[in-house]
Amino acid sequence: MRARIEHGPSVDGDRASQVALLRVDAGLRAAVPAEELAVAERVVVAPCRTLRPGTWTPEELDVEADAFAALLVDGLVTRETTIAGRRTADLLGPGDVVHPWRAFDAPLPSTSRWASDSAAVLAVLDGRFMAAARRWPQLFEVVHERLADQLERAAGRAAIMALPRVEQRVLGLFWQLADRWGKVRPEGVVVELGLTHALIGQLIGAQRPTVSLALQALAGDGALRRDAHGPWLLAHDSRHALPTLRPVGPVHTAAILLDGRTAQTG
């Protein structure tokens, strides 16, 4: 997914633009009892912002003070984070929960940029959603489950980035993407995402030239290929290229030091 830089405002939608969340999100809809859906559809609404292709800033979302998160309703969004000149990226899709305007003090100097390749829609969760969740508490349960899923995917990608060979990292990434965006076909698993080599590198902690070489090798082996600018095709047996080794030894843990002392566990 290539972020195209555009000049001028990149977020459409004024404060009057709203979206009925239960009509666009099946998970939230399932959180409300069937007999109360008619009422809930009118009550569970949120301000929405349409993101045009290119980069955008959190300030452009122009949210109220009681906004606590945003739900990606449609499209794909990339968040790029740069530390010490090295860039990494997160790929966000429909159903993901973000808080792009949150300010925090990073322990290291860093910058974040947000971009989308095509139009994307964000629903702003604010005080109105909080009030609705007090009436239907499972709405918040859905949000918490989404955040837990995102943390689980992030942990999986961190493990993928630790794989020794870039070919393995690329395969691990695409199998993770296939779990969410893949379609199983007789010839393999189709992943209908437009991903540049540079973005793949940011997602797995590798440089673009190395990613290009890895993709050539995988295509030569028939494990992963792409025709022109079409979708990616993962061979069904390509996951066998990833080692399935059981963890050996103890789990290494950390301890909080109290008065400069802590128990030594080896």
Residue range 42-95, pLDDT digits in tens = 999 999 999 999 999 998 998 989 999 999 999 999 999 998 889 999 999 999
pLDDT at 261 over 90: no
Q: Are 92 and 145 in contact (CB under 8 A)?
A: no
- pLDDT at site 5: 32
Residue range 201-211, pLDDT digits in tens = 999 999 999 99
Mean pLDDT of the residues in the chain: 89
> Which pTM value belongs to this model?
0.87
Contacting residues for 260 by C-beta, under 8 A, at least 6 apart: none
Contacting residues for 27 by C-beta, under 8 A, at least 6 apart: 95, 142, 145, 146
- pLDDT band at residue 219 under the 50/70/90 scheme: very high
Secondary structure (DSSP) of 165-186 = SHHHHHHHHHHHHHHHHEEEET
- pLDDT at site 228: 78
Phi, psi of 133 (to 5 degrees): -70, -25
